[in-house]
Amino acid sequence: MSITSAAELSGMQKISEAVAITLKRMRDFARPGMTAKELDDFGGKILIEMGAKSAPRLTYGFPGWTCISVNHEVAHGIPSETKIFKEGDLINIDVSAELDGFWADNGGSFILGEDINNHKALVDASKVILQKAISRIKGGVKISEIGRFIEMEARKSGFKVIKNLAGHGVGRSLHEDPHEILNCYVHDNKQRFRKNSVVAIETFISTASTYADHGKDGWTMTGNKGGFVAQHEHTIIVTDGKPVILTSANEIY
């Protein structure tokens, strides 16, 4: 969507704050020995308290309030009772929701407790690359150039990117045009970021895989070559200068 009024800006600020605070509180609440369902239910209660509705449930009938992916899972992990967190796990929480007709999306990967499995470099790279990529976005910039930048920065850090998962437009629905703000360069993509548009920008930084495949449950995605992936995501408003980060309350960096 494009922000054309104070009412639209206020609506996007409210839903963005709701998903950002939910993500932050879920991250702080996670503990070894806890199940993903417990963490998801905690997040669901926060969304309800804020008057928001889970976007994956509302849009796709997803079996959870949020997506929770652990270790080798790349994205869209089901928050089940059998998924039990352990010290050093690489956990990703993706929170998207709707409130009063407005939609926002954010996510983040983090290490649970002590970094006994050496994931810090991957997580830090994902955060830093997202921050750098967002700082380069403004009206008129080619979407493909941001993808090129993310991929180059990942390479410099010794990592790869997942090429078939992408950021996207958001605002009046969960996924809007532009539908593919990829983490890699696509020569045929001539789209440019538009001033006042709302987009969700996300990194998918990988240790080994370059594509994510759906698993048997129909939801959970894993890498085609194994390894681990860290994802971080903000909903932003594109301007003529510095973007407005609507989900900054998640404190992912």
- In the prediction, which pLDDT does 64 show? 98
- The whole-angstrom separation of Cα 235 and Cα 193 is 14
**CA–CA separation, 107 and 233 (whole Å):** 5
**Residue 29 — pLDDT band, cuts 50, 70, 90?**
very high
pLDDT grade for 27, boundaries at 50, 70 and 90 = very high
Residue 5 has what pLDDT? Answer: 98
The answer to whether the CB of 123 falls within 8 A of the CB of 248 is: no
Q: How confident is the prediction for the chain on average, in pLDDT? A: 98
Portion of the chain with pLDDT greater than 90, in percent: 100
The single-letter code of the amino acid at 114 is: E
How confident is the model over 227-252, as a mean pLDDT?
98
Alpha-carbon distance of 148 to 225, in angstroms, equals 22
Residue 142: pLDDT band with limits 50, 70, 90: very high
pLDDT of amino acid 67: 98
Q: Which of 148, 155, 156, 222 is nearest to 183 (CA)?
A: 148
Q: How confident is the model at residue 59 (pLDDT cuts 50, 70, 90)?
A: very high
**Model pTM?**
0.97
For strand 102-111 and strand 53-54, is the pairing parallel, antiparallel, or unpaired?
unpaired
Mean pLDDT on 104-116: 98
Helical ranges in the chain per DSSP H: 6-29, 36-49, 55-60, 120-135, 143-156
pLDDT band at 203 (very low <50, low <70, confident <90, very high): very high
Q: Is the dihedral of CA 10, 13, 15, 18 positive or negative?
A: negative
Region 25-29: what's the mean pLDDT? 98
pLDDT class of 82 with cuts at 50, 70, 90: very high
Comparing CA positions, the residue from 180, 12, 99 lying closest to residue 3 is: 12
Whether omega before 178 lies within 30 degrees of 0, making that bond cis, reads: yes
| Mean pLDDT across 124-151 | 98
